[in-house]
Structure 1
């Protein structure tokens, strides 16, 4: 079974080899703790500057049987070229220079003060991984939801309709993180992932003419998402959270729909990547309650490092609260 923890490089893996000073790595580690998707995803360098071009297969070529002294026609598998772009995210942070120097570890203090900035990067990255739409926001990057929002499209074969019709819909996502299935991207010949540049001490001027000395940081991350093979991703869409019950006697039967979504994946047991499941706090709560009922053998609660972890068919169920309870109906 391909699970989280394969040898494909995550952001933390790559930063450990590229940050000899350790400060940026420390920030990345703190940032990743706030969102599981950053711990799971793998990163691939773009193959065309700030863009990543892949060929998505639309059909598998088959050989022909041949007779002696007879030839065969070469087969051709259908392919569609897909171009994904990266987006630039930037922000600044600053602290009072005099206050920072009163602390024994000035660097640790500045890192602590920067947490809210880092949380903002974290939340936006996660939100755009699911909902980013370059059709309405060209400077952003394309997420998963716009790629799986049409039941009649080829990728619609991997969307399970949970029949919700109200205004309180959400989704559960199965994602195979791998170079051939789904991965994050960063611009060619650039530093990977989150970057923190110390701009040193500068004078800050206020609107009333007063000034103070501050220690300023510049934060930046260039990032995008690529899905070379949509068969490595599946979605349970149209889950009406207002109708959910802990025993699934009414409302969406989450386990039943998740089984459908699992088997929409292309050979999940032999996937050349790592599979994780993403849902928000509301869905995770109901899944936990259903697991406690003891009837759902596919849903288990296991202890990992002293913490309860809910799993489905052995795959971890990750919480991501960027998944909203107000999604439009997928049709």
Structure 2
């Protein structure tokens, strides 16, 4: 599958090109939000909403003959609307504290704000996988609710029957596949706004002055073609820890479900980009997958090994050439997908 390449302008590139000092901090926080690090970011085409035309049927074609006409036909489409939401946090630092080190006041405020940055990062990463607008209309529709039934051919069950489950995701990032969306005229990523000097009250109702900063991130998700993604669900975590389940056969099954598997090296001018596919799992599964490739099973040596690869200056483990990202946002307490 397509690996991450320097030709893509991702979210970190955008943030580091700004001059507000937040780029380096957010780059460090992408360890908590690997999905956002890989994401293809596009602006909504309808304010805070993004409308996509999804092909539901191909036009018909026919063999031709001399002196015979061509039958008229057209493809069928349906329109899908994806929404965005936003997460906010307000950081306040006592003005008297900043006066102690006036030359480092900006740094002190940013250090204080890191907690808000991390909270936003974790909230957004969790929403990417589990947010459901039917449950909370303030949020956006995440990946989980879109791939929540075994009736979907790209949802593969590992066979668990309890509730201590987790998932492995194959996600293809690209304009024609899966994108993070942000409202029109609003930059992608976390925005930092200096609210200046504010008068606030303590617990006893006595006033004092603080310097405030507001952190905001607008975000949504658009899956334009579900065939480029796959979910391996119902993976029983205790069974994985015990070493009683093999992940490689499940991942191989998901790999051959992906629409872009055969085309990722064929990208050329004038063709639709096949996107870039990334695998996401939590640390428990990543450790188990690594163990499978280390000859730990007696008499068994037929698993694909994780291979280190340098991508954009970072060493990343890959499986069949696909980058593997570790994310703690993928829970080990998922309910059963039926």
Q: Same fold (TM over 0.5)?
A: yes
Partner of 1:36: 34
Of stretches 118-127 and 189-198 in structure 1, the one that deviates more from structure 2 is 189-198
Q: What is the CA distance between 1:309 and its match in structure 2?
A: 4.1
Once residues 205 and 7 of structure 1 are traced to their aligned partners in structure 2, the CA distance between those partners, rounded to angstroms, is: 50
Q: What is the CA distance between 1:327 and its match in structure 2?
A: 1.1
Query: What TM-score does the superposition give when structure 1 sets the normalisation length?
Result: 0.91
Shift in alpha-carbon separation, 1:299–1:74, aligned structure 2, 3 A? farther
2:235 to 204, 229, 239: 239
Asked if 1 retains the 8 angstrom alpha-carbon contact of 2:166 and 2:333, the reply is yes
Q: What is the CA distance between 1:227 and its match in structure 2?
A: 0.3
Partner of 2:144: 145
Partner of 2:267: none
1:318 aligns with 2:338: no
Asked if 1 retains the 8 angstrom alpha-carbon contact of 2:16 and 2:22, the reply is no
Q: Deviations over 1:149-190 (max 9, x none)?
A: 1122xxx11111111111111100001110100010000122
Partner of 1:23: 21
Once residues 217 and 296 of structure 1 are traced to their aligned partners in structure 2, the CA distance between those partners, rounded to angstroms, is: 54
Asked if 2 retains the 8 angstrom alpha-carbon contact of 1:8 and 1:273, the reply is no
Partner of 1:8: 8
1:96 aligns with 2:89: no
Once residues 158 and 85 of structure 2 are traced to their aligned partners in structure 1, the CA distance between those partners, rounded to angstroms, is: 32
1:255 to 231, 248, 257: 248
Once residues 235 and 198 of structure 1 are traced to their aligned partners in structure 2, the CA distance between those partners, rounded to angstroms, is: 41
Q: Deviations over 1:25-44 (max 9, x none)?
A: 23332332432212111210
> Alpha carbon RMSD of aligned pairs, Å?
2.1
Q: Deviations over 1:180-215 (max 9, x none)?
A: 000100001223221100111222212312222211
Partner of 2:260: 267
Asked if 1 retains the 8 angstrom alpha-carbon contact of 2:50 and 2:222, the reply is yes
Of stretches 190-199 and 172-181 in structure 1, the one that deviates more from structure 2 is 190-199
Once residues 268 and 111 of structure 1 are traced to their aligned partners in structure 2, the CA distance between those partners, rounded to angstroms, is: 43
Partner of 2:292: 290
Of stretches 175-184 and 4-13 in structure 1, the one that deviates more from structure 2 is 4-13
Asked if 1 retains the 8 angstrom alpha-carbon contact of 2:241 and 2:284, the reply is no
Partner of 2:224: 228
Of stretches 256-265 and 289-298 in structure 1, the one that deviates more from structure 2 is 289-298
Alignment of 1:49-128 (within 5 A): 49-103=47-101, 104-128=103-127
Asked if 1 retains the 8 angstrom alpha-carbon contact of 2:86 and 2:219, the reply is yes
Q: Deviations over 1:262-303 (max 9, x none)?
A: 111112252421111001121112112222227354222426
Question: Unpaired segments of 5 or more residues in structure 2?
Answer: 265-273
Shift in alpha-carbon separation, 1:302–1:26, aligned structure 2, 3 A? closer
Of stretches 281-290 and 167-176 in structure 1, the one that deviates more from structure 2 is 281-290
Shift in alpha-carbon separation, 1:283–1:87, aligned structure 2, 3 A? same
Once residues 204 and 302 of structure 2 are traced to their aligned partners in structure 1, the CA distance between those partners, rounded to angstroms, is: 64
Asked if 1 retains the 8 angstrom alpha-carbon contact of 2:32 and 2:328, the reply is no
Once residues 275 and 77 of structure 1 are traced to their aligned partners in structure 2, the CA distance between those partners, rounded to angstroms, is: 27
Once residues 260 and 277 of structure 2 are traced to their aligned partners in structure 1, the CA distance between those partners, rounded to angstroms, is: 11
Once residues 62 and 6 of structure 2 are traced to their aligned partners in structure 1, the CA distance between those partners, rounded to angstroms, is: 37
Partner of 2:196: 200
Question: Unpaired segments of 5 or more residues in structure 1?
Answer: none
